[in-house]
Structure 1
Amino acid sequence: DGGEELYDEAKDPYEWTNLADRADRANVKQELAKSLPTVNKKTPPEAKAAEQKKKKKTAEER
């Protein structure tokens, strides 16, 4: 759904408590966001061709 999730794996190994909305974790989220890519890599042509082939096969099976 695009929502943020943040867990303290040391204290909450089963990820029951989402800490993403807590104000005291804003700095952690900011630091983690720095490591995320700002632009997605382009899909290579061979991957696009494979996906199109898969869609065509699925459509033919219907």
Structure 2
Amino acid sequence: MTRRGGTFGIPVAVAAIGLIALIAGLLGDGAVDWIAWAGLTLPLALIAIAVGRTVRH
């Protein structure tokens, strides 16, 4: 079974979300800062999930 986007689809999506979050954090204020914070937390959350799956197996 092949995934849409190939090998780099998910990493590119995570990088794009991170870039948008960085730009929003630099240019926005107030609620936009919270959105930027959430977007920048996404890679850390994905790493934690991957490590959790590795430790269990």
What TM-score range do you get, normalising by the shorter chain?
Answer: 0.3 to 0.5
Q: Which has more radius of gyration?
A: 1
Scaled by the length of structure 2, the TM-score of the pair is 0.32
Query: Which one has the bigger helix percentage?
Result: 2
Scaled by the length of structure 1, the TM-score of the pair is 0.30
